[in-house]
Amino acid sequence: MSETLSGQATSTISAVVGRADVLIVGGGLSGAMLAAQLLRLPGRRRILIVEPRAELGRGEAYSATELGHTLNGNAARMSVDPDNADDLTQWLEAFIAKGGWPESDQQHVPVSELFPPRGIFGLYVQQRLAEAREQGAVSGSTAEHVCGEAVDLHIDSSGARLTLADGQCLEGAYAVLATGMFPAARTRQKHSSGLNAAAIDPWDVAAMSRLDPQGTVLIIGSGLTMVDAVVSLEQAGHRGPIRVFSRHGLLPHVRRQPPAWEDFLAADQSIRSPRQLLREVRRQCAAALASGIDWQAPLDTVRAHIGRLWSQASDVQRRQFVRHVRPWWESHHHRSPPLSAELVERLYKEGRLTIEAASLKGLDEPRDGRVSISIRPRGESRARTVTGEALINSTGIEYDWRRVDRPLPQQLLARGLIRPGPLALGIAADPGGAVVDAEGDVSTRLFAMGPPLRGMWWESTAVTDVASQAKALAVRLAQLMDSQKGRG
């Protein structure tokens, strides 16, 4: 059987694939890593990965082809093996030694401190999945790519039935929502403002190359997607003004490699509220600076505790964090890779890139092929119009599934199989990833991992988060399957 079941095979797909042990909806990083972990476990099981892209392991994040679109973490922080933090570093060393990524020497740092292009990281994920397939084959386990879009799902006591856009149905004992992220720039939204219809994809260098090189480009949002958009514009040969608008006007800080710092949250379990956390982080950062140490050192120790702090917080405390702390958390924690940050800083110093704290109020009718937006500067009561040659939506990720205008999320909500997670971030689940339905019941057949669990853990998108969740969920599913077979 071929790796990808598509093309002519789709007409007989139900006869070809039969019933699987696990249906994985989504074949990006989350789905690929879950499959890899399941394949490595003892036992014989059949896994079907439903993914519309031609390749597994890439998803939205790692389908980028431009070398300038890099990870925002260095190799030492981005291993897909939760048991080996050096796994990506070791893979990169071998990859570079064989002649891959010759441009890596431009960063002038050890391999562990390199920020690889996202496209190359996708190759790494694919190789680790291929190795897991070989390992699984020894015990008779398989993972097959079903190339298609999942549009509906039914769950009953015997398992899951997944419907694809072409009408085909797949069945499995268990199903996992590993749908990854819904980038706002690429996601149809219910009750849309029309922003995406008027905007250029932040990663579409070809489209940007067709713009007037001296034309003004407007960007909504100032996070890491904006940084990618600026890199894309530079690679497309754009040399005109870039005007960035975001609610708080904050840019991501550059990621550096600070020395180790004491894990102060592990030492003091009394810190629980956002106010307490913010006060202590400020104190620790001030102490670091007074000692001549980068403030990023103490901040980096917080990362390991965010899941615990978020899950034990009340809804009131979570709302306080989102309303008052989130913009600064995003800009200080979700930092820019050095080369990209250098580009943004250079353009800012040259005066080509400006950033303004302002809210988008709407789109005006285009005139003479130009785009116009209505923005309200922060602290002002009246909106004003800004015009440019092109518009880019860099508002980040859409986590509210109620706003995602895609068949599967809408069907799952309509059927009551899922309910929104805390603060409408992702979907609700138990601590092990079992999905909670609209009635509050925990499913025994439907699970989720990665970005859909944003509301459960706050940070549920990073590579290390996904890798850890994949390992834990694989163990849970294997135990359920073994128990089921034992009863059978």
Among 353, 378, 393, residue at a domain's last position: 393
Please tell me whether residues 340 and 470 are part of one structural domain.
Answer: no
pLDDT of 17 higher than 60:
no
pLDDT of residue 38: 98
**Secondary structure class of 33 (helix, strand, coil):** helix
Q: Which domain holds residue 325?
A: 264-333
Q: What number is the average pLDDT over the span 142-165?
A: 96
CB atoms within 10 A of CB 8: 6
pLDDT of 185 higher than 60:
yes
pLDDT of residue 395: 92
Least confident of 150-154, 182-186, 208-212: 182-186
pLDDT of 275 higher than 70:
yes
Q: What number is the average pLDDT over the span 215-223?
A: 97
Whether residue 107 lies inside any domain: the answer is: no
Q: What number is the average pLDDT over the span 114-139?
A: 97
pLDDT of 360 higher than 90:
yes
pLDDT of 389 higher than 80:
yes
Whether residue 230 lies inside any domain: the answer is: yes
Whether residue 258 lies inside any domain: the answer is: no
Please tell me whether residues 151 and 31 are part of one structural domain.
Answer: yes
Please tell me whether residues 178 and 129 are part of one structural domain.
Answer: yes
Whether residue 83 lies inside any domain: the answer is: no
pLDDT of residue 5: 44
Please tell me whether residues 65 and 122 are part of one structural domain.
Answer: yes
CA separation for the pair 360, 358 (Å, rounded): 7
Taking only the tens place, the pLDDT of each residue in 305-359 is 999 999 888 999 999 899 888 999 999 999 999 999 999 999 999 999 999 999 9
Structure tokens at 1: 């059987």
Please tell me whether residues 344 and 328 are part of one structural domain.
Answer: no
Taking only the tens place, the pLDDT of each residue in 61-80 is 899 888 999 999 999 999 99
Tell me if 399 sits within 8 A of 425, measured CB to CB.
yes
pLDDT of 191 higher than 80:
no
Whether residue 141 lies inside any domain: the answer is: yes
Please tell me whether residues 413 and 473 are part of one structural domain.
Answer: yes
Please tell me whether residues 126 and 233 are part of one structural domain.
Answer: no
Q: How confident is the model at residue 146 (pLDDT cuts 50, 70, 90)?
A: very high
Please tell me whether residues 342 and 201 are part of one structural domain.
Answer: yes
Closest by CA position to 22, among listed 1, 46, 51, 40: 46
Among 346, 370, 393, residue at a domain's last position: 393
pLDDT of 172 higher than 80:
yes
Whether residue 87 lies inside any domain: the answer is: no
Q: How confident is the model at residue 6 (pLDDT cuts 50, 70, 90)?
A: very low
Q: The domain spanning residue 37 has which CATH number?
A: 3.50.50.60
Q: What number is the average pLDDT over the span 461-485?
A: 93
Please tell me whether residues 31 and 133 are part of one structural domain.
Answer: yes
Please tell me whether residues 173 and 196 are part of one structural domain.
Answer: no
pLDDT of residue 439: 97
Q: How confident is the model at residue 196 (pLDDT cuts 50, 70, 90)?
A: confident
Find all residues with CB under 8 Å of 117, minimum gap 6, and list them. Answer: 64, 66, 67, 68, 69, 70, 71, 101
DSSP class of residue 324? Answer: I
The string of DSSP codes covering 400-440 is -GGGB--HHHHHHHHHTS--B-GGG-SB-B-TTSEEE-TTS
pLDDT of residue 271: 87
Q: What number is the average pLDDT over the span 429-443?
A: 97
pLDDT of residue 12: 37
Give buried/exposed letters for 163-191 (b at 16+ CB in 10 A, else e).
bbeeebebbbbbbbbbbbbbbbbebebee
pLDDT of residue 86: 97
Whether residue 85 lies inside any domain: the answer is: no
Which amino acid, one-letter code, is at 66?
A: E
CB atoms within 10 A of CB 303: 15
Query: What's the structural domain count of the chain?
Result: 3
CB atoms within 10 A of CB 54: 11
CA separation for the pair 333, 341 (Å, rounded): 14
Percent of the chain with pLDDT over 90: 82
Please tell me whether residues 178 and 190 are part of one structural domain.
Answer: no
**pLDDT: is 452 or 483 the higher one?**
452
pLDDT of 150 higher than 70:
yes
Among 292, 314, 333, residue at a domain's last position: 333
pLDDT of 13 higher than 60:
no
Please tell me whether residues 483 and 416 are part of one structural domain.
Answer: yes
> Which of 4-8, 18-22, 47-51 is the most confident on average?
47-51
CA separation for the pair 274, 317 (Å, rounded): 7
Tell me if 45 sits within 8 A of 141, measured CB to CB.
yes
- Kind of pairing, strands 169-177 and 217-220? unpaired
Whether residue 406 lies inside any domain: the answer is: yes
Q: How confident is the model at residue 399 (pLDDT cuts 50, 70, 90)?
A: very high
